[in-house]
Structure 1
Amino acid sequence: MSDNHVGVDAPAAVRDCGAMGSDYAAAADLLRAATDVTLLGHVNPDADALGSALALALALKKLGKRTRVSFGSPDTVPEVLRGLDSDGLLVPACDVPAAPATLVVLDCGSDRRLGPLIDRVAATRAAGGRVLVIDHHVGTPRFGTDHILDDTAVATAVLVLALLDELDVPLDPAIATCLYAGVLTDTGFFRRATGATHRIAARLLDAGVDAEELSRRFDEHPFAWLRMLATVLGRAELVPEAAGGRGLVHTTVHLSDMVGVTIDDVEGVVDLVRSSSEAEVAAVAKELEPGVWTVSLRAVGDVDVRAVAVSLGGGGHRRAAGFTAHGTAEDVLASIKRALG
């Protein structure tokens, strides 16, 4: 069984956005030879994970492959992302084959991010199948048999676009919308975009993306979201001495705050908290169940919040990262302050 790190130039259309140094030809050959492909994103999938998986699945379907897309948990797709599944390719985790012949894992910084579907990787390899890992996180290990790994790419969607070019699959509105959603959100709605990012966005728009409608999906929330926001922002605290004097602003979202809203509705709270000019680091701890928290970290300066997240069992990017924690809200916030130094 080979362990091919995919390694040559990306197509010129995406080269400037970081999709370099990978053998897209080898990955394309692997997928052309496949007849049945299972694509997995990480648990609690975001737009980049789900959009990348669905875009590639739609392209493979055009090539006559049988495809399915899934993720480990939760059981439902976030409301804002449901419209991306235009062809009904999403299946529940229980319907994922025990040992897929060809498995593609997207946007997972490690196999642990597959949650309860982590066993599919080992099972596929043990059965002589192939596991293609496509990811843009820093330090992603080579846990597959084949890899497209580029931590300079702004989104996994960019790497998928390069692979579609290699497969010679033309963009259509459905595929382009899935990719655009990933680029849009992983660049912080283009806050961290480069000129190359905008060139890619223009290409996707030209392929039929309705950017206004898609952006509206991410902007809309139920009325209860306003009440939740007032409560959560009202308990925000500023710690000027944290992060070596660069400052930390933090807040918590308790289960009792989420009446009428879902965990997906609170994902953007960290970006509002980050707007504080007195702190370079923002942290929001969201209670998933009693004593279990998912924490979002953001940085606007030179603080590496990925290093903080990794030290606490998570991961991500230099300016956007996260981890899961257990204990009280006070315990969680204390661990963040210690990790920041």
Structure 2
Amino acid sequence: MNTTTLAAGTTGRPTEQDWAAAVNAVRSGLRPGARVLLVCHVNPDGDALGSMLGFAQGLRKLGVTSLQCTFPGALSVPEPLHMPAMDLLIPEGAADPAPDLLVTFDAASESRLGALVDRLETATVSLVLDHHASNTGFGKVSLVDPCAAATSVVAAELLRRLDVPLDREMAECLYIALVTDTGSFKFDLTTPEVHELAARLVAAGIDVGAISRRIFDSRPFGAVRMFGEVMGRAQLEPESAGGRGLVYAVATLDDLAKHQQPPYVLEALIDSVRCVAEADVALLLKQVAPAEWAVSMRSKGGADVSRIAVELGGGGHRLAAGFTGHGTAEQIIDAVRGRLAAQF
């Protein structure tokens, strides 16, 4: 099997040779008796989960019978992201220790695979599907398109090249992946290609209105109250980021406990932070343990937040990135503030 990779930070798109290598990798999993394991990143978002489950249904159409889907950590999916094919998910502890084919989704680095990272070595063939410019180029076959708006764009194109016809359930998974990573088609990487794919998915018979209401326009009243409190503590630093402005907010475990909310509701809060007109860069810290934080960053174009995320152990895109921070909230904000200053 040929190894094809894109260097971290590249802006190059996959070549025909890259696509051919990916097609051949998948076909290696179509042999009778072949065991296939699909893995997406820890704490999967809509793109990671939807790309994986949509692709899994495509593999079933191709005749794959020994198929597992999983991700690192507890097997828990936020209610808004429940979608078809959830029955394919298994706990990470039940994952095949040495599959014939491993396919990873939306993971920019090996660290995002958690305890499942060893399958990169034990799998006969490993295929990486991703769209992050910060991807480190891991896997025996790496299909990374940093110009794609979502990993689902890459997964859908690979399924097309494998001659897999779309059905409604497959389309729903891929549409959820696409619409979440494009912010309802608002983000900069929303290209004509994205809308063409969306049209194909809608034509398969999905209920666009119901999907959008569930994902974007519905949250518990307790979460609404909590968002108000967290945003009431937000801070604006107009002088940061070379005078382009930094706004940040901190959501703690106490906030979640006070309003009796699950952690996943905080994922939507970054949209409230990033809309501040006076700041190019938005920063949201979500506490996950006494000295551990899930950190989300957004830029309106002045700063490259992926560079900061990579330096701090994470990854992402120029305009949207994240990492896991350790220490106090103040220490993490200082680390980001300093790296922003170094860019200007």
Q: Does 1:235 align with 2:233?
A: yes
Cα 1:6/1:254, change in 2 over 3 Å: closer
Q: Does 1:217 align with 2:214?
A: yes
Q: What is the CA deviation profile of residues 71-116 of structure 1, one whole-angstrom value per residue up to 9, with x for unaligned ones?
A: 0023312222222435x11111011011111100111111111011
1:67 is matched with 67
1:115 is matched with 114
1:10 is matched with none
Instruction: Give the whole-Å Cα distance in 1 for the aligned partners of 2:100 and 2:291.
Output: 39
Q: What is the CA deviation profile of residues 42-72 of structure 1, one whole-angstrom value per residue up to 9, with x for unaligned ones?
A: 0010111111111111011112212111000
Cα 1:288/1:337, change in 2 over 3 Å: same
Instruction: Give the whole-Å Cα distance in 2 for the aligned partners of 1:42 and 1:237.
Output: 31
Q: Does 1:169 align with 2:133?
A: no
How many angstroms does 1:329 deviate by?
1.3
Q: Does 1:160 align with 2:159?
A: no
Amino acid at match of 2:193: A
How many angstroms does 1:21 deviate by?
4.9
Cα 1:179/1:170, change in 2 over 3 Å: same
CA contact (8 A) 1:22 1:148 kept: no
CA contact (8 A) 2:48 2:177 kept: yes
Q: What is the CA deviation profile of residues 245-291 of structure 1, one whole-angstrom value per residue up to 9, with x for unaligned ones?
A: 00000010000111321221010111111111000000000000111
Amino acid at match of 2:151: T
The TM-score with structure 1 as length reference comes to 0.91
Instruction: Give the whole-Å Cα distance in 1 for the aligned partners of 2:21 and 2:332.
Output: 44
Instruction: Give the whole-Å Cα distance in 1 for the aligned partners of 2:225 and 2:38.
Output: 38
CA contact (8 A) 1:107 1:156 kept: yes
Partner SS state of residue 287, structure 2: strand
Q: Does 1:289 align with 2:295?
A: no
Instruction: Give the whole-Å Cα distance in 2 for the aligned partners of 1:85 and 1:334.
Output: 42
Partner SS state of residue 48, structure 1: helix
Partner SS state of residue 4, structure 1: coil
1:147 is matched with 142
Deviates more, 1:161-170 or 1:66-75: 66-75
Instruction: Give the whole-Å Cα distance in 2 for the aligned partners of 1:253 and 1:304.
Output: 24
1:180 is matched with 175
Partner SS state of residue 82, structure 2: helix
Partner SS state of residue 67, structure 2: strand
Partner SS state of residue 103, structure 1: strand
Instruction: Give the whole-Å Cα distance in 2 for the aligned partners of 1:20 and 1:213.
Output: 37
Amino acid at match of 2:292: V
2:22 is matched with 27
Instruction: Give the whole-Å Cα distance in 2 for the aligned partners of 1:22 and 1:109.
Output: 21
Amino acid at match of 1:242: S
Instruction: Give the whole-Å Cα distance in 1 for the aligned partners of 2:104 and 2:322.
Output: 20
Amino acid at match of 1:227: R
Unaligned runs of 5+ in 2: 7-12
Instruction: Give the whole-Å Cα distance in 2 for the aligned partners of 1:84 and 1:280.
Output: 37
CA contact (8 A) 1:138 1:317 kept: yes
**What is the aligned-residue identity percentage?**
44
CA contact (8 A) 1:19 1:152 kept: no
Aligned length: 325
Deviates more, 1:138-147 or 1:314-323: 138-147
Partner SS state of residue 83, structure 2: helix
2:273 is matched with 273
How many angstroms does 1:19 deviate by?
6.4
Amino acid at match of 1:159: V
Instruction: Give the whole-Å Cα distance in 2 for the aligned partners of 1:103 and 1:284.
Output: 33
Q: Does 1:131 align with 2:126?
A: yes
Amino acid at match of 1:251: A
Cα 1:108/1:55, change in 2 over 3 Å: same
Q: Does 1:43 align with 2:33?
A: no
1:12 is matched with none
Cα 1:294/1:162, change in 2 over 3 Å: same
Amino acid at match of 1:329: A
2:201 is matched with 204
Deviates more, 1:233-242 or 1:20-29: 20-29
Instruction: Give the whole-Å Cα distance in 2 for the aligned partners of 1:67 and 1:73.
Output: 19
Task: After the TM superposition, list the runs of 4 or more consecutive aligned residues in structure 1 that deviate by more than 4 angstroms.
Answer: 18-22
How many angstroms does 1:142 deviate by?
2.7
Instruction: Give the whole-Å Cα distance in 2 for the aligned partners of 1:331 and 1:303.
Output: 20
CA contact (8 A) 1:43 1:74 kept: no
Cα 1:22/1:297, change in 2 over 3 Å: farther
Deviates more, 1:162-171 or 1:20-29: 20-29
Q: Does 1:92 align with 2:87?
A: no
Amino acid at match of 1:103: L
Instruction: Give the whole-Å Cα distance in 1 for the aligned partners of 2:14 and 2:21.
Output: 15
Cα 1:155/1:328, change in 2 over 3 Å: same
